[in-house]
Structure 1
Amino acid sequence: MAPTLIRHAAAGSDTHAEQARGRLAALSDREREIAAAVAEGLSNGEIGARLDVSVGTVKSTPVH
């Protein structure tokens, strides 16, 4: 769901974009970093390597 959330937040000012921006604002900085990496299509391992965290941390981070 994170890729859709990122796409909607980047869109115009329609209702979906507003809702997505609100949901993104509720995430921590780390959660937003992981959501952005998911939206790029990176694997859990690639995200972990990029952010210097374990794959387990990536998997357990809520980005929905």
Structure 2
Amino acid sequence: MTNRTESSTQRIHIALDADELAAIDDYSFRARIRTRSAAIRDLIRAGLKASELDQESDSSEK
């Protein structure tokens, strides 16, 4: 894994189809998020958190 500092910001480029972009824009509007970038970061954080919770529940069931 790369060495990360709290102040470092990196740009990435992704390709989205029209439906994915519309879903992000809809989420952004409903959540009153001003930019697509902020909406995408919010969705990524939520997805990562949900993934971590799923992994924790899977390991506790064993």
Report the TM-score when normalising by structure 2.
0.27
Report the TM-score when normalising by structure 1.
0.26
Highest RCO, 1 vs 2 (Cα 8 Å, sep ≥ 6): 1
Greater helix percent: which structure? Answer: 1
